[in-house]
Each structure stands twice: as structure tokens, then as C-alpha cells.
């Protein structure tokens, strides 16, 4: 079978989610609405947190960056997906494909550790409230955020470097709606075992370390909440944790299902459904789960609106 090296490879073809024009039309409308809500929700959250001084705390510092990551995450995938759904041009260049994959992995890995940082912040706030201002200092928050982006950069760099060294067969058709690792590996003419091992190690380490950190934090939170004597206090705390854990469960569940398995276990239909959740749905849902249901955010929004009114209006 003839092969192309990476300098002479023509454009890839993204097959998308379906061949049915009717279903594509429905998906394009749904994805467009989801994208608009995602942009408005995350931009709104960033602006509210930036403009209201009462929200300049570690918790909302991390939430603003979560909104930033979700906004970037959505922009990496959704616009190209929408374009493919409404046009007949489903091609993407080799550089464009690997650029999309690079930022997708970077933002995904960064979000894993940002969620862990948020869990640690809640752990300190609930389990060590008296020492919270000292422990969660501006320096620590900045260090955690810097580490989050550095880990994302390292993971994405290793992923793309390993993938870009492969040779690809005559088939240029990617059976997916964006440039993801598994469907691109399937196009390679050579043995991808060592490439898969490297990607598995880095992706697995990112997921497991962040998930363990998150789990330990929330186990401590649960034990602390159980010691609270007030029933209303327990219900309020558990309600907040349940909303947070819902978003975390969806994000980590789909990530683990998709990536922590060998290429032989790759299932097009199941992986595409899971991918829709963590690339398109979760960036829209996160502002609702973490922020828009928060009374402090609602009060901040009201204060900003009131300040923006002209005197005498």
C-alpha cells in the first residue's frame, strides 16, 4: 500500500456525524444554538467576575478561567463542525487538523487539572475555613493555574509530536467530526503500538492524577459535611457538591471512555456520541452548573446592571 509522508499529504476529509442531509440540518441548528449559549454564558461569566469586586476570590478566580477554557474549547471544535454540517466542503488541511488536535488536547488536559484545583479550593474552604485566606493565597492560585496550563502544553506537545511522525495510507477520510487521536491513528500505515503507549501514558497520567486529587478532596468534603449539625446546612452543601460532581462525572466519564483504551476497542458510533458531550455540550453546561445557579453570581449581575444605569433613569 502506498504511503504519504507528512509534507506531501493532501487535505483530510472529516466525514462528520451522519450522511443524512435531514439529520445534518437538525444537528446544525442544535449545535448553533448550543454554541451561542456557550459563548454568551462563558463570556458573561468572565465579565461578571471581572467587573464585580466581591467575586475576586480564589473560587471565582478558577471559575473565570474555567469559563475561558470552555470558551476556547468550544471555538476549537464547534465552528468547523458547523461549517461541515452546512457545506459540502468537509476538507481540513494536515496543518489545520493537527493544530485543532493540539489545542483540543491542551485545553482538555488543562481543564482536568483546573477542575482538580477547584476541588482543592472547596476542600480548603469547607475543611479548613479559618486558614482558607492564608492557604489559598494569590501566589498559590497563580501557581496552580500556571501548572494547569503547563501540563496541558506538555501533553498536547507530546501527543502531536508522536502523531506527526507517522506515515499515512491513501485513505484520507477521518471518520469523525473533528481531528481526534483515535481516528487519525486508524489512518496510519505503520505499527502505532509505541505511539499509542506514549499517548496512553501521558493521557492516563493526566486523567488519573487529576481524578485522584479531585476524589480525595471531595471525600474529605463529604466527611466534613456529615459532621455539620444543621440539616439545612448539610442539604445546601450536598446540593452544591452534587451539581459540581455532575459536571465532573460527565467530563471525566466521557474522557476515560474515549481515551483510556487501546485502538482495537475504538467504536465509531459510541466514541462520537461521547465526543459530542465533552466538546460541545459540556462547555455550554459548565456555566449553568458552576456559576449561573449561584446566588452570589446573580447578585453580582444585579449590582453590575444597577451601576450601569444612568443617574435619573
Partnered with residue 12 across adjacent β-strands are 92
Task: Pick left, alpha or beta for residue 311 (phi over 0 → left; psi -120 to 50 → alpha; otherwise beta).
Answer: beta
**The residue count for the chain:** 313
What pLDDT does 305 receive? 82
Report the percentage of the chain scoring pLDDT > 70. 86
In a 10 Å sphere around its CB, with 0-12 CB exposed, 13-18 middle and 19+ buried, how is residue 182 labelled?
buried
Q: Identify the structural domains of the chain with CATH numbers, from first to last.
A: 10-308 (1.20.1070.10)
Rounded to two decimals, the pTM is 0.88
Q: Which helix (H) or strand (E) holds 183?
A: helix 181-185
- Give the pLDDT band (50/70/90) at residue 231: confident
What pLDDT does 1 receive? 43
Between vectors from CA 272 to CA 251 and to CA 21, what angle results, nearest 5°? 135
d(CA 108, CA 102): 10
Q: Which of 303, 292, 304, 308 is nearest to 67 (CA)?
A: 292
* pLDDT tens, position by position, 162-173: 888 888 776 788
What pLDDT does 2 receive? 46
- Give the pLDDT band (50/70/90) at residue 62: very high
What pLDDT does 285 receive? 85
Amino acid at each position: 500500500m502506498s504511503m504519504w509522508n507528512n509534507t506531501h499529504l493532501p487535505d483530510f476529509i472529516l466525514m462528520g456525524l451522519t450522511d443524512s442531509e435531514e439529520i445534518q440540518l437538525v444537528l446544525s441548528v442544535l449545535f448553533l444554538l448550543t454554541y451561542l449559549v456557550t459563548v454568551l454564558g462563558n463570556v458573561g461569566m468572565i465579565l461578571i467576575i471581572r467587573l464585580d469586586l466581591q467575586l475576586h476570590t480564589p473560587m471565582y478566580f478558577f471559575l473565570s478561567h474555567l469559563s475561558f477554557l470552555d470558551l476556547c474549547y468550544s471555538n476549537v471544535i464547534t465552528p468547523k463542525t458547523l461549517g461541515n454540517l452546512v457545506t459540502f466542503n468537509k476538507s481540513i488541511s494536515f496543518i489545520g487538523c493537527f493544530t485543532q488536535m493540539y489545542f483540543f488536547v491542551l485545553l482538555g488536559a488543562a481543564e482536568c487539572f483546573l477542575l482538580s484545583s477547584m476541588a482543592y479550593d472547596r476542600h480548603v474552604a469547607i475543611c479548613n475555613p479559618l486558614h482558607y485566606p492564608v492557604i489559598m493565597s494569590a501566589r498559590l492560585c497563580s501557581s496552580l493555574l500556571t501548572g494547569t496550563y503547563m501540563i496541558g502544553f506538555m501533553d498536547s506537545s507530546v501527543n502531536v509530536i508522536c502523531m506527526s511522525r507517522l506515515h499515512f495510507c491513501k485513505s484520507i477520510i477521518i471518520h469523525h467530526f473533528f481531528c481526534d487521536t483515535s481516528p487519525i491513528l486508524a489512518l496510519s500505515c505503520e505499527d502505532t503500538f509505541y505511539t499509542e503507549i506514549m499517548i496512553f501514558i501521558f493521557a492516563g497520567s493526566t486523567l488519573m492524577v487529576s481524578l485522584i486529587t479531585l476524589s480525595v478532596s471531595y471525600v474529605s468534603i463529604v466527611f466534613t459535611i456529615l459532621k455539620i449539625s444543621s440539616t439545612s446546612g448539610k442539604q445546601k452543601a450536598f446540593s452544591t457538591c452534587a451539581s459540581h460532581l455532575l459536571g465532573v462525572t460527565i467530563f471525566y466519564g466521557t474522557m476515560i471512555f474515549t481515551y483510556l483504551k487501546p485502538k482495537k476497542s475504538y467504536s465509531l458510533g459510541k466514541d462520537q456520541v461521547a465526543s459530542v458531550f465533552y466538546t460541545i455540550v459540556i462547555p455550554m453546561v459548565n456555566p449553568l452548573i458552576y456559576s449561573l445557579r449561584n446566588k452570589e453570581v446573580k447578585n453580582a449581575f444585579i449590582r453590575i446592571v444597577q451601576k450601569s444605569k444612568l443617574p435619573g433613569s
